[in-house]
Amino acid sequence: MATGTAREIELNGSEVEFVFYIPGNYTVRLTVTDYSGNSAATTIWVIVEDVYPPVAVVPGDLSVYVGERVILNGSRSWAVG
């Protein structure tokens, strides 16, 4: 199970997974508890790097008149990482 804010992650369980979608520095705390209720915890730093450039998506070539304003909307573009 994972809980926490964008930069602090709390993981509980004997085997946990977490996927980081936003680059940055994170504090990750893992807590494990046995069947008797005994628990132990450790904290590590995870540095998530952005390794993929964004992809720009535009509608294609345009023909415009001199002095005409051109607006390109990148809202259909995406970034990975």
Q: Is position 68 within any domain?
A: no
Contact by Cβ (8 Å): 45, 29: no
Q: Is position 14 within any domain?
A: yes
SS3 67: coil
C-alpha–C-alpha distance, residues 27 and 4, integer Å = 10
> Does residue 39 have a pLDDT over 80?
yes
Count how many domains the chain has.
1
Q: Is position 79 within any domain?
A: no
Q: Is position 78 within any domain?
A: no
Q: Is position 34 within any domain?
A: yes
Smallest CA-to-CA distance from 80 within 32, 34, 23, 29 is with: 23
What is the pTM for the complete model shown? 0.52
Confidence of residue 66 (pLDDT cuts 50, 70, 90): very high
> Could you list the residue range(s) of the whole structural domain that residue 25 is in?
2-48
C-alpha–C-alpha distance, residues 57 and 61, integer Å = 12
